[in-house]
């Protein structure tokens, strides 16, 4: 599950930082990165475009994934504390707060889209017709999210291992089965639902709407900066980290592209649901091969992996925001309170209220796929702010602190940052152009929803916290300074 599969790093007192007791091989780090980024959830979105999905995945991998991986590796090898520390050191503490806030805020729209996928998958166990029902989807989102809040608020760690199993249970096994069945299906002489000839390697040009397709794939690759914190665990970071990232990129591309192609072979684009597309393909393949009884099993595998990731991740970004806010006083005391299990329950509950309101969008907008697409784009827009700040901070740190110790120095950092900045800015702008996935809805409604979500979540709320903050909001025990203050 892309960016939400590795907990956000938070500032710690320097005394607590110790050398890693063990080293990682570059292959191990590549597999860890693959597990944190790869997912089948986005496959239906690109399966609509058949063979062109290869191009739609490769472009953001080159202009976004690669710069993000290499630049974040240099930052992580020089400054502990994740994106907050990097942006605070390179730009300013308020902008550091904005970066860590956006890491948290993007989850507000991420969870409704993730649970919308889960709801449609559950429908294939109960009644496939429910997959296109807005009220049903909204109810499942609300029930599952609040169940997750209850579990997380009790500090339960028993389910943490589900995230690490998610790559196998919910991605590798189902993805491999999907691709193998697809190849056998075509090998038996059955025609592909989507053309597979060379003339369809590029997506059909329909103006700016065609470029919007790439935006959603930016989020598919986000989260690489989280894994960069492990760069110091490699024996020879300068040589091994690039190899690790290139291997991870290759594996991630295979996991993204092959299942998307398999889906396009059996489900016609005009019948494909963006939330239920994976299960549509499994259902079609299993029915063709006379093993329809496997459909519910595939659904359970996808559901368990998604819910495991959600439960493990639910408190992750909010915990990073909490610890920084307790040190710097960014959030009011109400949102900093911990329950008896040491969990930031008030943040989770407040986030849950907003998530519930957002979930109603599924009930109020007839086309479930349109809602899913809108939420995915808003998630991407908010998270792109993090990358804009990260690339800008990296450029400035090379100039202001050129002699600061770095375990890894990215080659041609300036070029990488400029490419990353331009790609992120382009994606931010293009995100306001409705794609064909939005259906026949009003263009201005789309712009208003996406723009409103970006402005309110990405700027208005963090500005309000910074504007109204008070010295009394610093609640960290004994006013423990962050590494940024100690440096």
The closest of 72, 7, 1 to 36, measured between CA atoms, is: 1
How far is residue 368's CA from residue 361's CA, in Å, rounded to a whole number?
9
Region 17-21: what's the mean pLDDT? 41
The closest of 167, 123, 121, 137 to 6, measured between CA atoms, is: 167
**Residue 5 per-residue DSSP state:** S
Q: Which residues, 6+ apart, have CB-to-CB distance to 385 below 8 Å?
A: 98, 99, 102, 458
Identify the pLDDT of residue 98: 93
**Residue 188 per-residue DSSP state:** T
Identify the pLDDT of residue 241: 79
| pLDDT tens digits, 217-226 | 676 777 666 6
Identify the pLDDT of residue 16: 38
111, 355 Cβ separation under 8 angstroms: yes
Phi-psi map region of 7: left, alpha, beta (phi>0 left; psi -120 to 50 alpha): beta
Alpha helices by DSSP H, listed for 267-332, are 277-288, 295-313, 316-328
Whether the per-residue pLDDT at 42 is higher than 80: the answer is no
Whose tokens are 């998630």? That residue is 379
Q: What is the pTM of this model?
A: 0.75
Chain mean pLDDT for the chain: 78
The two three-digit tokens of residue 85, written as one number: 């520390």
Residue 156, CA distances (Å) to 86, 150, 342 in order: 31, 10, 11
| pLDDT tens digits, 197-213 | 777 777 766 655 556 66
Region 360-380: what's the mean pLDDT? 72
How far is residue 353's CA from residue 368's CA, in Å, rounded to a whole number?
21
416, 245 Cβ separation under 8 angstroms: no
The closest of 98, 106, 82, 81 to 2, measured between CA atoms, is: 106
Region 232-237: what's the mean pLDDT? 80
Report the percent of the chain where pLDDT is more than 90.
13
Region 139-154: what's the mean pLDDT? 84
The closest of 92, 102, 97, 86 to 394, measured between CA atoms, is: 86
Residue 113, CA distances (Å) to 71, 294, 345, 453, 469 in order: 29, 25, 22, 14, 32
Identify the pLDDT of residue 401: 92
Question: Which of the four pLDDT bands, split at 50, 70 and 90, describes residue 436?
Answer: low
Identify the pLDDT of residue 8: 37
Q: Which residues, 6+ apart, have CB-to-CB distance to 421 below 8 Å?
A: 388, 391, 392
Q: 93 or 81, which is more confident?
A: 93
């Amino acid at each position: 599950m892309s960016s939400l599969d590795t907990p956000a790093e938070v500032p710690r007192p320097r005394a607590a930082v110790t050398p890693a007791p063990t080293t990682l091989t570059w292959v191990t780090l590549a597999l860890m990165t693959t597990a944190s980024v790869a997912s089948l959830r986005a496959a239906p979105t690109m399966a609509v475009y058949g063979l062109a999905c290869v191009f739609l995945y490769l472009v953001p991998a080159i202009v976004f994934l690669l710069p993000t991986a290499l630049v974040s590796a240099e930052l992580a090898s020089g400054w502990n504390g994740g994106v907050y520390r990097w942006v605070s050191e390179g730009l300013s503490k308020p902008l550091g707060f904005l970066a860590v806030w956006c890491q948290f805020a993007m989850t507000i729209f991420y969870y409704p889209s993730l649970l919308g996928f889960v709801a449609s998958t559950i429908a294939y166990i109960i009644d496939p017709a429910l997959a296109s029902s807005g009220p049903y989807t909204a109810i499942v989102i609300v029930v599952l999210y609040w169940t997750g809040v209850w579990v997380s608020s009790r500090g339960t760690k028993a389910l943490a291992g589900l995230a690490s199993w998610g790559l196998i249970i919910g991605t590798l096994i189902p993805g491999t089965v999907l691709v193998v069945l697809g190849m056998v299906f075509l090998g038996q002489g059955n025609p592909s639902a989507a053309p597979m000839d060379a003339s369809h390697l590029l997506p059909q040009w329909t103006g700016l709407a065609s470029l919007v397709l790439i935006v959603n794939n930016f989020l598919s690759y986000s989260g690489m900066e989280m894994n960069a914190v492990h760069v110091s665990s490699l024996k020879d970071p300068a040589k091994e980290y690039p190899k690790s990232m290139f291997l991870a990129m290759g594996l991630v591309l295979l996991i993204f592209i092959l299942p998307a192609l398999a889906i396009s072979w059996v489900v016609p684009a005009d019948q494909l649901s963006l939330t239920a597309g994976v299960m549509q393909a499994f259902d079609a393949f299993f029915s063709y091969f006379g093993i329809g009884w496997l459909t519910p099993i595939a659904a359970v595998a996808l559901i368990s992996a998604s819910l495991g990731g959600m439960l493990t991740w639910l408190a992750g970004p909010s915990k990073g925001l909490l610890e920084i806010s307790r040190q710097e006083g960014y959030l009011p005391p109400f949102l900093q309170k911990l329950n008896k299990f040491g969990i930031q329950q008030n943040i989770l509950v407040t986030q849950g209220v907003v998530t519930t309101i957002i979930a109603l969008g599924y009930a109020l907008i007839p086309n479930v796929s349109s809602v899913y697409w809108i939420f995915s784009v808003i998630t991407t827009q908010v998270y792109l702010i993090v990358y804009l700040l990260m690339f800008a901070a990296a450029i400035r740190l090379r100039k202001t602190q050129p002699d600061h110790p770095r375990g890894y120095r990215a080659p041609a950092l300036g070029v990488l940052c400029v490419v990353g900045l331009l790609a992120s800015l382009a994606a931010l702008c293009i995100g306001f152009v409705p794609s064909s996935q939005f259906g026949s809805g009003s263009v201005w409604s789309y712009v208003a929803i996406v723009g409103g979500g970006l402005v309110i979540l990405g700027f208005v709320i963090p500005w309000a916290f910074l504007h109204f903050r008070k010295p009394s909001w610093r609640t960290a025990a004994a006013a423990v300074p962050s590494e940024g203050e100690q440096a």
